Each structure stands twice: as C-alpha cells, then as structure tokens.
Amino acid sequence: MILAVLDDSPAALDMLAYTQSLGQQVEAVTFGAADTDDLAKRGVRAVHRIAHDELADCAPAASGEALSQLIEHLRPEGVVGVCSDAVTEAMAHVAAITGLPLATNCVEVSTGDPWLLTRVRGGGMLLEEAELHASPALLTIAQGVSGDIGAGPVESCEVREFTPELTEAAATTQQARIVERASRGSGMTLATAPVIVSGGRGVGSADGYRALEELAERLGGVVGCSRVATNNGWRPHSDQVGLTGTKVAPELYLACGISGATQHWVGCMDSKVIMAVNTDPEAPLVRRATYAVIGDIHEVLPAVIDELKARSEG
C-alpha cells in the first residue's frame, strides 16, 4: 500500500492520480478536512485524517512527527507527497526522524526493489535517474505531473482519524509562523492560468504593466514578471516566474521585454507556446521561443490590443 499525502492544492490531486497510476493500492493522508465524495470518485477507499491541536497552520516539525507515527502504524511500502512547500517540509522532517532518504521533485516513478525514479534537479535544468533503496520509499512528485487513475470510482471513502502523540519538542519547535495572509484578486493564478502575459525590465515601470494587464484580461489570462520587475517593486513577488518564483506551464506564455536568463527560463520552459516580444533578436528567450516579435513592447502591445478591440467590436 502507498500513502499519498495531500494538501488542499490542485497539484495534490495530480499527485494522487499519478500515485494511483503506479498500480498499487493507494490510501490518502490529510492534515485537514477531506472531500470524501471526491476521493471516492477518484477510487480512494480510505483517507487517514491526522488531527491534533498542535497541527495548526505551518507546523512542519509537528506534521513530520505525526506523519512518522502514522507511517510506523500503517507500514506502507511508499509515502508519496505533493511537492508543495508545506508537504515537502513535513516529508523532510519524516526523513530526519526515520533516518530514511527522501527523493523530492520526481517526474517518473516505478515501484520495486529498488524504486526507480527520475527527478528534476537544478531548477529544471537536469533530470536525474535515481534508485531509491529504502522501505518505505519517501518521495514527492513534481507539480504538473499527473496520471490516469487506474482504479475506477468506489462507493465510499472511509475517514480514519489518527491522533498522533506529539512530543513537547515538536509542539514547541515551530520555527515557521504565518505573519500575513494575502488573498488573491481573482480565481486564476500563475499556476492555473491558460495565458500569461509576462513582463521584464523592458516594461520600464510599474505603470508600464497596465498594457500587459489589459492584454492579459482580453486573452483570459494573468500577468507574470521577471525578478527585475519584483526587485524594482513594479510587481509583487507572487507574480514572479522562475527559479525563485513560480514554475508555470500555460498554453501561451507571452514574454515582453524579458531576456530569458536561465533562472527565468526554468520557470517558463514548460509552456506549450512561448512568444517573445523583444528589441534584441539575440536575446536567449527570443532564440528559444516558439514565436518572436522583434520590436518595442510599447509599440507592439498597444497595436495588439487595438487589433483585439477591433475584432471584438467588429
């Protein structure tokens, strides 16, 4: 049996589907409420709900200890987590507590002795083939990796409450604490938007993003940016694409005035279509893009917006 550790992100459901495609019985683990109807539709017969007062927001050490106890109790062959910050950190605590190796960011997995893995390293620049000699195998699945659910729906998913006995140490070593909660303006995020209109130094100022916002709205997408834009205070960090921002994979990534440094490229390279608008025909992103427009974004973007307006009115 494999335990799939979920959080409340859509990526967790992709990870669950991928884990189910490995051909073994999969049971889910959550630290909060579980949508049992949805899990039953996805063929999951049991969800272990870890509950404890100390497991409030951002309690990675306590979550890791709780998860270790559940693993000890259930003795699964593998524990697979979604590669989110919270789950990865909890899994790292599990690895430290149990002395087992943890393989993060896997894009391909086959179970066995050893488990065979392909992992993304170096911010996406390197794929590593690895053997995992451990029982249980601890790993996380990279975001964006999904699979066909092998099992059909089941009648119901049983909730099994698990109350860990947390040591005082786990309860008190909460290095992480939430200082601010920012709500998103719309339902679409960089991670889910089909279109991203992204801007870099070439946009020139915070005001310059108005054209990108208008274009994104007309195309049904959101605005992204390079690190130069966040460093300059033109955009919030939540808009940043790249190694130290969000990794994106939209249908269309429109890169406006972005050179395409490696740290940016690793964040957008999985986009289906990349179009670069840049004055420099030799910019790395222009050379790698599916399509490129060589020109000044302050002329190109208004022209595109005018054309879209004319089409929607005509």
Q: Which of 9, 24, 189, 263 binds ligand FAD (CB under 6 A)?
A: 263
Residue 53 to residue 24: CA distance in whole angstroms: 32
Dihedral angle over CA of 3, 9, 13, 18, nearest 10: -70
The count of chain residues that interact with ligand FAD, using the rule CB under 6 A, is: 27
Residue 309 C-beta: closest distance to ligand FAD, Å: 21
Is 250 a residue that touches ligand FAD (CB under 6 A)?
no
Quick one: angle between helices 297-313 and 209-219, nearest 10?
30
In whole angstroms, give the CA distance from residue 223 to residue 213.
6
| Of the candidates 144, 238, 234, the residue with the CA atom closest to the CA atom of residue 196 | 238
In whole angstroms, the minimum distance from the beta carbon of 209 to ligand FAD comes to 12
How many CA atoms does the CB half-sphere of 104 hold within 13 Å? 17
CA–CA gap between residue 230 and residue 207 (Å, rounded)? 14
188, 191, 261, 305: residue in contact with ligand FAD (rule CB under 6 A)? 261
Q: Minimal distance in Å, beta carbon 310 to ligand FAD? A: 23
Annotate each residue in 277-306 with x if it binds ligand FAD (CB under 6 A) or - if it does not, as one string: xxxx--x------------xxx--------
CB closer to ligand FAD, 201 vs 288: 201
- Asked if residue 195 binds ligand FAD (CB under 6 A), the reply is no
200 near ligand FAD (CB under 6 A): yes
We find the least distance from the C-beta atom of residue 230 to ligand FAD, in angstroms, to be: 8
Where does this chain touch ligand FAD (CB under 6 A) — which range of 16-24, 153-161, 176-184, 273-281?
273-281
Per-residue binding string, ligand FAD, 113-152, x by CB under 6 A, is ----------------------------------------
Token pair for 77: 């062959």
Helix (H, G, I), strand (E, B) or coil at 192: coil
CA proximity to 174, closest of 86, 239, 300: 86
Return the residue of 64, 78, 124, 242 that touches ligand FAD, per CB under 6 A.
Answer: 242
Site for ligand FAD (CB under 6 A): which residue of 60, 240, 247, 292? 240
Q: Applying CB under 6 A, does 201 fall inside the site for ligand FAD?
A: yes
Q: In this structure, what are the phi and psi dihedrals at residue 81, rounded to the nearest 5 degrees?
A: -115, 160
Site for ligand FAD in 217-236 (CB under 6 A): 226-228
- Segment near ligand FAD (CB under 6 A); pick from 60-68, 104-112, 271-279, 301-309: 271-279
DSSP output for 9-47:
SHHHHHHHHHHHTTSS-EEEEESS---HHHHHHTT--EE
CA distances to 205, 211, 296, 303 from 299, in Å: 15, 11, 5, 6
Residue listed under structure tokens 């911010």:
123
Site for ligand FAD (CB under 6 A): which residue of 43, 81, 245, 250? 245
Question: What are the residues binding ligand FAD (CB under 6 A)?
Answer: 200-202, 226-228, 240-245, 257-259, 261, 263-264, 267, 277-280, 283, 296-298
